[in-house]
């Protein structure tokens, strides 16, 4: 059964959209982090030491309000936006990513989903860091943030700016225009900044939302912010692809002793040294100009042998 599940995941990841791939990555990270939590909290383990080790591992990948932590762990700007501990946390983030991500993908292309998600998440992390440093909610010591909410909010707001009149069918409510859904979600985050339970998270959501709005405005102005991001990703992936060695063209020695024309040039009892590809190109050019029937028997034979290689 496990093998079958893994095969399905691999197939969906290789053939699915970027929204599907992001969901898969988030779910895999969720499973791994919870398995780590389980490993350090099995019955018989020292609960205190196990929880401490788990927390240290988790914080290694989390965004923090502590400047030294961010400077020494720069990867947290990326890794934190793929981490979830609670089931409801990842459930709603992935549902929102699926619903609104498909809209954005249909409107501006699948290739802009990843840049919007990553850059929106980074923007949210930066806003979280700045507000935690400047505002009282971060005065009690270092805090940590994780979750895809900022990146998802960037996609949510982008969808609302791109298609404000688009209607979504909400359970128990019916069809509602996208602009109203997005406005309510942003408003809830604004209210959340005054609640002590997740103030930093609310600020991060707003940072991602602001980036999504800015991303679409820049795109309409002719500045595609996804272009340099995708070029950088292509460069990174290109480093891990094996380079193919170019084969040197083989030299073929063709000897013709009959008078007549060959490859469009007059020859009489001459030895002509041409590369294999040059001979093929010459024959094809001759066919283009005068037709296949104009080829000599030697040219037809050569072309036939070349097609078999």
Angle made by CA atoms 95, 100, 106, in degrees to the nearest 5: 130
264's CB contacts (< 8 A; 6+ apart) are 282, 285, 286, 289
Domains and CATH numbers, the chain: 15-239 (1.20.1540.10), 251-307 (no CATH)
Instruction: Provide the whole-model pTM.
Output: 0.75
Cα separation, 58 vs 80, in Å, equals: 9
For the chain, the residue count is 309
pLDDT in tens, the chain (309 residues): 778 888 888 888 888 899 999 999 999 999 999 999 998 877 656 555 567 889 999 999 999 999 999 999 999 999 999 999 999 999 999 999 999 999 999 999 999 999 999 999 999 999 999 998 888 776 677 889 999 999 999 999 999 999 999 999 888 888 999 999 999 999 999 998 887 678 889 999 999 999 999 999 999 999 999 999 999 998 888 888 776 555 555 554 444 444 444 344 443 444 444 466 677 777 767 766 676 667 787 776 776 666 555
């Amino acid at each position: 059964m496990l093998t079958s599940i893994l095969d399905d995941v691999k197939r969906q990841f290789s053939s699915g959209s970027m929204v599907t791939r992001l969901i898969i990555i988030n779910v895999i990270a969720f499973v791994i982090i919870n398995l780590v939590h389980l490993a350090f909290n099995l019955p018989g383990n020292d609960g205190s030491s196990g929880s401490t080790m788990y927390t240290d591992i988790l914080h290694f990948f989390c965004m923090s309000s502590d400047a030294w932590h961010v400077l020494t762990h720069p990867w947290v700007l990326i890794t934190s936006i793929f981490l979830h501990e609670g089931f409801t946390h990842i459930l709603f983030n992935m549902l929102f990513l699926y619903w609104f991500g498909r809209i954005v993908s249909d409107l501006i292309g699948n290739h802009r989903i990843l840049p919007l998600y990553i850059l929106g998440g980074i923007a949210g992390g930066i806003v979280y860091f700045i507000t935690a440093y400047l505002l009282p909610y971060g005065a009690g010591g270092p805090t940590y943030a994780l979750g895809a909410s900022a990146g998802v909010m960037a996609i949510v707001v982008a969808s609302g700016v791109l298609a404000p009149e688009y209607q979504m069918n909400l359970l128990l409510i019916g069809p509602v225009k996208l602009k109203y859904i997005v406005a309510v979600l942003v408003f809830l985050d604004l209210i959340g900044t005054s609640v002590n339970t997740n103030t930093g998270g609310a600020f991060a959501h707003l940072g991602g939302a602001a980036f999504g709005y800015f991303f679409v405005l820049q795109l309409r102005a002719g500045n595609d912010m996804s272009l340099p991001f995708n070029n950088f990703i292509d460069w990174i992936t290109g480093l891990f692809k094996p380079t193919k060695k170019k084969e040197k063209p083989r030299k073929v020695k063709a000897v013709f002793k009959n008078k007549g024309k060959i490859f469009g040039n007059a020859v009489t009892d001459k030895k002509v040294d041409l590369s294999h590809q040059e001979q093929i190109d010459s024959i094809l050019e001759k066919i283009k100009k005068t037709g296949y029937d104009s080829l000599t028997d030697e040219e037809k034979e050569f072309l036939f042998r070349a097609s078999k290689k």
